[in-house]
Amino acid sequence: MNQIILFLFTVCFAASDIWNIRLPSQTKLLQKLRENRNDRKLEDVNNSWETIRIHFEFLEPPPSDILQQTNTVLDIVKTFFGRHLLVKRQTGNLLWKSSYETDWGLLTIPVSLQKSYDADLVFFVTQENNEQVEYIARAAPVIFDETTGRPIFGIMQMNNYYMKEFQGTDAKFEAAVLIVLHESIHGLGFTDNLYSNYYNSTTNEKYNFTVYQRVNQQIDLPTPRLTQLAENHFGCSKLLGGTMEDQKGGGTAGSHLERSIFYNELMTGAMMTGNSLFTEFTFALLEDSGFYRVTKHVADVQLWGKDKGCDFYKNQCYSNLQYKEFCTDPYNENDESDDPLKHLSCSYTHTGIGVCLNDGLVECPYYYVIPDLDCRDADNYDETLFSGTNFHFGYDSMCLQGGFVSKTRAVYDIGYSCYKYSCDENYRLTIIVDGVEYDCSVGGSSPSYDTNKYKSGIICPDNPKDLCQSVSECPNQCNKKGYCLGGLCTCIAGYAGRACEKTCNTYRNGIECVETCPTNTFADDFTKYCIGCPANCDTCSAKDVCTLCEDSYQLVGGFCQPLPTYSLILVTSIIALFLAI
């Protein structure tokens, strides 16, 4: 047993202490924003929306052992945003003006880079290799478009001491992409200093809201789409806004979604082992800023907190109700007599075996996936530890309670397992172990098994259908050529397919490689993607002009805005009443 305990210790806590964002001093930034605020003439803004072209400019190249990976990661991030975000371009190239501040603390923009760029947002990227600091990467927007207030120049710093750790498997590479995506989103404008500059891009008017401060320091950001989506997701019709992180001070607090409420959403405040999600919440926030519009896409689906109501949103684990999202008996790392093995369970979304702990961001402990027991990481299989357990690691693996542990071989049995699974089109879950299929379509059931062969069996998850509906994995996490969103890879130019496994020298339409883009899509030469209609739009005449929205969205200024789910329910029940009369 000692070996396993040791291995829980070393991996788990080293990783959970690394916070991935600290912004540089914001004084200058704020000053600039205030200076510009009253001069903005939003009515002059060009009304057409184009795909965003992000450019990363190295101040110095990353070290050679990470250069290639960094280049690919940045390429993926550029392609991902180009495929998903629209922006109001400036006329002509982005020009670095001599009046701009060049000293940003983290870095000084050298004269040679104070030039013009054929792009919509430029990040100056600098490197360090520092074990003493606790961030992996950090970023901030620094220069803003004078009319819209949209970030046009940003700074980013990579701490290669940690970035290097994200090399090797497809799952590790995916984590590196997530880090840069996360940082880029701050650079795109998700940072608390900018909230007061957000505006309604249909009317070009500033929102009239105040950020609501809860007694416990959590703040609620009342931007319209984020608030509406949160109301719809959590099932609470009167939220004050999207709740932001209150822990870890400046740089983290205020500029991230609250971990206790949004859990593994990419824009929560720290790296989390297991599956981070890019959900509609982040897209909503980017649109709410007024700086961006979102194109048609499939986002990752969040299960955490779904339909749990106002009480969950407001009180999290302080509620009188006990929510399954949280655990109640955290492992105490300072108590030597405590044994982490006594605090294990599958993580809430079953992507790995977790230990109940407080990760430093949450008020409420939850099952934090132990990196070496992250079922989705193919590299985690270790013959000495797992022989006889029939464990399977990879994007198609999930955590289950129990396990088919061999009777004949001496093995560790920790009470939880990683096994291969599949979901059919009716969202029925099947577990596959050693070539045998076990039906897990009924929550909490225990499929029968060969008792001569195995010591014990498994217990199916409580919510197999929900898990199947939220599955959004891509084969081999897009093979280090793309980023998986909602089960679809966005691949760098030159690749296509479900897993970016095919070469493609023309355009990509979804996972297909095509010569010309089909109707209702628009060829984009920056990303080599066929860009669809605006998000949640059925038919459109351009990528920024919707003519008919999907159900539960309304057309506002050529784009689709979510309708409150609650009013829909209300309308239906009123109709039902009429019918009854």
Ligand X SMILES: *[C@@H]1O[C@H](CO)[C@@H](O)[C@H](O)[C@H]1NC(C)=O
The catalytic residues are 183
Helix 224-234 and helix 565-580: axis angle, to 10°?
50
Enumerate residues 64-93 that contact ligand X by CB under 6 A. Answer: 89, 91
**Does the footprint of ligand X cover residue 265 (CB under 6 A)?**
no
Cβ-based nearer residue to ligand X, 554 or 572: 554
With CA atoms as reference, report the closest residue to 534 among 526, 518, 522, 525.
522
By the 8 A CB rule, do 162 and 18 touch?
yes
Report if residue 203 touches ligand X, rule: CB under 6 A. Answer: yes
- Cβ-contact 296, 536 below 8 angstroms: yes
The nearer residue to ligand X, 140 or 286, going by C-beta atoms, is 286
Q: Is residue 204 close enough to count as binding ligand X by CB under 6 A?
A: no
Q: Which stretch binds ligand X (CB under 6 A): 182-190, 201-209, 356-364, 401-409?
A: 201-209
Tell me the closest approach of the beta carbon of residue 105 to ligand X, in angstroms.
34
Rounded distance between C-alpha atoms, residue 42 and residue 56, angstroms: 27
**Cβ nearer to ligand X, comparing 394 with 562:** 562
Contact 418, 353 (CB under 8 A): yes
DSSP 3-state assignment of 20?
coil
- Other CB atoms within 10 Å distance of the CB of residue 213: 12
Only one of the segments 33-41, 196-204, 330-338, 352-360 lies at the binding site for ligand X (rule: CB under 6 A); that segment is: 196-204
Return the range that interacts with ligand X (CB under 6 A); candidates 197-205, 329-337, 418-426, 462-470: 197-205
Q: How many residues bind ligand X (CB under 6 A)?
A: 13
CB 104, min distance to ligand X, A: 29
* 220 is a contact residue toward ligand X (CB under 6 A): no
Nearest to 531 by CA among 178, 46, 49: 49
Task: Note whether 571 binds ligand X by CB under 6 A.
Answer: no
User: Does residue 46 touch ligand X according to CB under 6 A?
Assistant: yes
**353 closest CA partner among 331, 372, 369, 339:** 369
Residue position matching structure tokens 């990363």: 56
Per CB under 6 A, 38 contacts ligand X: no
Min dist. Cβ of residue 561 to ligand X (A): 6
The sign one gets for the Cα dihedral 410, 411, 413, 417 is negative
Amino acid letter, 388: G
Q: Which residues of 429-455 are buried (b: 16+ CB within 10 A; e: fewer)?
A: bbbebeeeebebbeeeeebebeeeebe
Q: Does 322 bind ligand X (CB under 6 A)?
A: no
| Nearest distance from C-beta of residue 534 to ligand X, angstroms | 13
Contact status: 48 vs ligand X (CB under 6 A): yes
Applying CB under 6 A, does 567 fall inside the site for ligand X? Answer: no
d(CA 456, CA 453): 9
Residue of 3, 10, 93, 202 interacting with ligand X (CB under 6 A): 202
Least distance between ligand X and beta carbon 350 (Å): 35
Cβ at position 122, least distance to ligand X in Å: 17
Nearest of 397, 390, 327, 400 to residue 359 by alpha carbon = 327
Q: Which two tokens stand for residue 183?
A: 């940082």
> Taking contact as CB under 6 A, which single stretch among the options 4-12, 198-206, 276-284, 533-541 is the one that binds ligand X?
198-206
Q: Which stretch binds ligand X (CB under 6 A): 4-12, 158-166, 202-210, 434-442?
A: 202-210
Q: Decide: is 246 part of the binding site for ligand X (CB under 6 A).
A: no
The answer to whether 186 is annotated as binding is yes
- CA 189, CA 348: separation in Å to the nearest integer? 30
The DSSP result for 262-303, as a single string, is HTTBTTBSB--SS--B--HHHHHHHHHTSSEEEBS-------
> What minimum distance in Å lies between the beta carbon of 352 and ligand X?
37
* Separation between Cα atoms, residue 404 and residue 487, nearest integer Å: 29
Burial of 99 (0-12, 13-18, 19+ CB in 10 A): exposed
By CB under 6 A, residue 556 contacts ligand X = yes
Among 71, 126, 561, 565, interactor with ligand X by CB under 6 A: 561
Contact status: 552 vs ligand X (CB under 6 A): no
Question: For binding to ligand X (CB under 6 A), which residues are involved?
Answer: 46, 48, 50, 89, 91, 200, 202-203, 208, 224-225, 556, 561
Q: Which residues are annotated as a binding site for Zn(2+)?
A: 182, 186, 256
Binding-site residue numbers are 182, 186, 256
